[in-house]
Amino acid sequence: MKGWGGFTHSRTAPAAFTGYFWDADQEHSERSHWERDQNVLILIDAPGATAESLVDELEALRLRIEEAYLYYGLPQKAVWITVQPLSILFPDTSD
């Protein structure tokens, strides 16, 4: 991550964001329900990088996050990593 531009994260405890996802029970549809999900957002700045160029590093990050959840006894059904383009509108020109 040192090669990236920087990162920001939301509060972890209590989690800053709450979301919901549909937990579908394929065998017993009556057990399907909306599950509440506490979320932490991590924003990583990687100017000039493409999603494809970051796949290996982001997969390693996802595995480390999953390991941390397991260590604390909180296994996750999924750890999502999404990638969006980054445009810096007003770059620092103080050099």
For residue 9, the model assigns a pLDDT of 84
**pLDDT, mean of each 10-residue run, the chain (95 residues):** 74 88 90 90 86 92 93 90 85 71
Give the pairing type, strands 6-9 and 17-23: unpaired
For residue 55, the model assigns a pLDDT of 93
Please give the C-alpha separations between residue 91 and each of 46, 56, 94, 95, in angstroms, as whole numbers. Answer: 14, 28, 9, 11
For residue 85, the model assigns a pLDDT of 84
Please give the C-alpha separations between residue 14 and each of 11, 17, 36, 43, 86, in angstroms, as whole numbers. Answer: 7, 9, 14, 18, 28
Q: Residue written as tokens 């290996």?
A: 56
Query: Could you state, in order of their start, the residue ranges of all structural domains in the chain?
Result: 6-71
Give the pairing type, strands 42-45 and 6-9: antiparallel
